Amino acid sequence: MSLPRPDEAVVDEAAQWMALLQSGDVSAQEREAFEAWRGADARHRLVIEQMSGGLNVLRSNALRGLPSQSLLHSLNAPSSRRRFVTGSLSLLGLAVAAGLLGRRYGLLPETGALYTGTGERRDFTLDDGSALTLNARSRVISRFDANQRLLELRDGELLVDVAKDPARPFVVETEHGRMRALGTRFLVQRGDDSTRLVMLHSQVEVVTRGGARQVVEAGESLLFDEQNILALERTKGHEIAWTQGRLEVRDRPLSEVIDSLRGYRRGILRLSPDVAGLRLSGIYPLDDSDRTLQLLEHSLPIRVIYHSTYWVSIEHL
Amino acid sequence: MGGHQNPHYPLIGQMFQKDYQWLCTSVSRTLGCYHSAQDIASETFLRVLALPDPLAIREPRALLTTIARRLVYEGWRRQDLERAYLESLALAPALVHPSPEERVLVIEALLAVDRLLNGLSAKAKSAFLYHQLDGLTYSEIGERLGVSTSRVQQYMADAFKRCYQAMAQI
């Protein structure tokens, strides 16, 4: 019933014919020659049919209206499979990787979601002309309507340069509270237990979930949680270093530096508790986390152990 | 569903009873999640049921493992595509934002195209889609990609070859 599988040479020939026919530049003789080739063997006909069948996949209704650029952008997305397979992970590694993926992709992103992956920083221009920059592993939902411009910061860190619009206040919300501005530039860092606001220009009013209020001026930084204002201090000026790919720290614990680095590294980065409190100052390249780890190893009494590319632990020397 | 039964149902039924638990355990070791593993295992048996000739299966566990692994990869790839697609929406705010139902359909269609063109170079993919979807001529595509017209024709031939391989696999 079934024909023998066409060999490689037949498939090659058929592909050349299809490419020629589709060029729109075919002479009558060429067309005739093609018909003769197709008629010569049942396998030739079969191969041509299957090739044409592939075109139907592109004719799907669902893809109508999607520009070919968007389609290509999606198709050229790096493959998790390739990433993990070439990373030659063991079965254990795969389980870890699957867990990480689950966490990273766990929720179906909502409409209006803007986000960045590991090691990725990105600039967005919002509908109102405001400029938004997201740090690595950050997620923002934008909800703009006639009355307000709302950004929900679900994960990570953002810097926003707000376009002036007196009629619609610009609000950044985290689970800890709301920051309301008219036109200004500020940075918001969402931690697990608290949110930090760093004012670069003009002023913003903060209201925590619990109702505590504070106006924050340019040059000030405010730390707050769901209930309270925790600290109002002068900005140190290096908070936006990440937008240039640098991590700048002055007298901070190692744990904080490693936390900043996590967004730039795939896999597991384990920090032993007995070195977490070591304090340090320095400027480190965010985009080359291996180099940063090396620099840390040189300046602190620690040892960086690579169990695999995806599994690194930092321990006391 | 119940009316016309798949003739291979009893056979697959036996296989199901014997190997379903084993497959769940084996997949959950890969995924680290038993519930996802159950989904994958069930889908695996559905795929086996859809095979043209289940009687020819000699090594059921090897086959189940192969199909299950392919499903896991497919799931990952679906997530890659979904993420990239949402990104492209975010980057082009002029695009109409589709409803969740439409989005699911788009992602299924993307996955099908991805399967079809998987393995082609980025340029060959571009050439093929510019021609098939945007109706650009080979010389227009050549200009856009910065290559010669004959190179474009070769990309097209590569793409058709790949189409054949993808369609023949089904």
pLDDT at A290 over 90: no
| Boundary residue ending a domain (A234, A255, A270) | A234
- Indicate yes or no: CB of B109 within 8 angstroms of CB of A91: no
User: Is residue B1 included in any domain, yes or no?
Assistant: yes
- In a shared domain, residues A87 and A58: no
Domain tally for chain B? 2
- In a shared domain, residues B8 and B73: yes
Backbone angles phi, psi at B118, to 5 degrees: -55, 130
- In a shared domain, residues B149 and B80: no
Could you tell me if A10 lies within 8 Å of chain B, comparing CB atoms?
A: no
- In a shared domain, residues A230 and A123: yes
Chain A: residue whose CA lies nearest to B137 = A23
Q: What is the DSSP string of B97-160?
A: PPPHHHHHHHHHHHHHHHHHHTTS-HHHHHHHHHHHHH---HHHHHHHHTS-HHHHHHHHHHHH
- Name the strand (E) or helix (H) holding A45: helix A42-58
Domain of residue A202, CATH code? 2.60.120.1440
User: Is residue B105 included in any domain, yes or no?
Assistant: no
- In a shared domain, residues A137 and A194: yes
Q: End-to-end alpha-carbon separation of chain B, Å? A: 23
Has this prediction a pTM greater than 0.90?
no
Domain tally for chain A? 4
- In a shared domain, residues A96 and A34: no
- In a shared domain, residues B144 and B92: no
Domain of residue B146, CATH code? 1.10.10
- Indicate yes or no: CB of A68 within 8 angstroms of CB of B81: no
Question: What pLDDT score was predicted for residue A74?
Answer: 85
- In a shared domain, residues B79 and B137: no
Contacts of A67 in chain B (CB under 8 A): 92, 95
- In a shared domain, residues A195 and A262: no
Question: What pLDDT score was predicted for residue A194?
Answer: 92
Size of interface A-B (CB pairs under 8 A): 169
Could you tell me if B132 lies within 8 Å of chain A, comparing CB atoms?
A: yes
- In a shared domain, residues B71 and B1: yes
User: Is residue A143 included in any domain, yes or no?
Assistant: yes
- Nearest by CB to residue A19, choosing from B96, B108, B157, is B157
Q: Which of residues 11-50 of A touch B (CB under 8 A)?
A: 11-12, 14-16, 18-20, 22-25, 47, 50
d(CA A261, nearest CA chain B) in Å: 23
Residue A221 to residue A197: CA distance in whole angstroms: 6
- In a shared domain, residues A100 and A130: no
Tokens matching residue B152: 């474009």
- In a shared domain, residues A62 and A93: no
Identify which of B78, B94, B112 has the alpha carbon closest to the alpha carbon of residue A70.
Answer: B94
User: Is residue A202 included in any domain, yes or no?
Assistant: yes
Query: Domain range spanning residue A88?
Result: 78-108
| A24-38, A65-79, B6-20: range with lowest mean pLDDT | B6-20
- In a shared domain, residues B1 and B60: yes
Q: At what angle do helices A68-75 and B122-134 cross, to 10 degrees?
A: 150
Q: Per-residue pLDDT tens for A142-181? A: 888 888 899 999 888 999 999 888 888 999 999 999 999 8
Contact B129, A68 (CB under 8 A): yes
Residue A102 to residue A34: CA distance in whole angstroms: 51
Question: What pLDDT score was predicted for residue B95?
Answer: 54
User: Is residue A240 included in any domain, yes or no?
Assistant: no
User: Is residue A1 included in any domain, yes or no?
Assistant: no
User: Is residue A2 included in any domain, yes or no?
Assistant: no
- Nearest by CB to residue A15, choosing from B113, B116, B157, is B157
Chain A: residue whose CA lies nearest to B153 = A19
Among A8, A72, A142, the residue to mutate for chain B (most B Cβ within 10 A): A72
User: Is residue B107 included in any domain, yes or no?
Assistant: no
pLDDT at A224 over 50: yes
Question: What pLDDT score was predicted for residue B96?
Answer: 61
Residue A258 to residue A293: CA distance in whole angstroms: 9
pLDDT band at A87 (very low <50, low <70, confident <90, very high): very low
- In a shared domain, residues B141 and B87: no
- Name the strand (E) or helix (H) holding B43: helix B34-49
- In a shared domain, residues A64 and A82: no
Residue A138 to residue A59: CA distance in whole angstroms: 35
User: Is residue B106 included in any domain, yes or no?
Assistant: no
- In a shared domain, residues A89 and A12: no
Three-state DSSP at A47 gives helix
User: Is residue B67 included in any domain, yes or no?
Assistant: yes
Question: What pLDDT score was predicted for residue B5?
Answer: 55
Contacts of A62 in chain B (CB under 8 A): 102, 105-106, 108-109
Q: Per-residue pLDDT tens for B125-167? A: 999 999 988 888 999 999 999 999 999 999 999 999 999 988 8
Contacts of A72 in chain B (CB under 8 A): 122, 125-126, 129
Percent of chain B with pLDDT over 70: 87
- In a shared domain, residues B82 and B144: no
Domain of residue A300, CATH code? 3.55.50.30
User: Is residue A151 included in any domain, yes or no?
Assistant: yes
Is this prediction's ipTM beyond 0.90?
no
User: Is residue B77 included in any domain, yes or no?
Assistant: yes
- In a shared domain, residues B88 and B130: no
Three-state DSSP at A178 gives strand
Strand pairing report for A195-201 and A185-190: antiparallel
- Indicate yes or no: CB of A79 within 8 angstroms of CB of B163: no
User: Is residue A3 included in any domain, yes or no?
Assistant: no
Looking up tokens 């998790």 gives A80
Residue A114 to residue A143: CA distance in whole angstroms: 11
User: Is residue B60 included in any domain, yes or no?
Assistant: yes
Three-state DSSP at A153 gives strand
User: Is residue B103 included in any domain, yes or no?
Assistant: no
Residue A294 to residue A282: CA distance in whole angstroms: 13
- In a shared domain, residues B83 and B31: yes
Query: Domain range spanning residue B39?
Result: 1-98
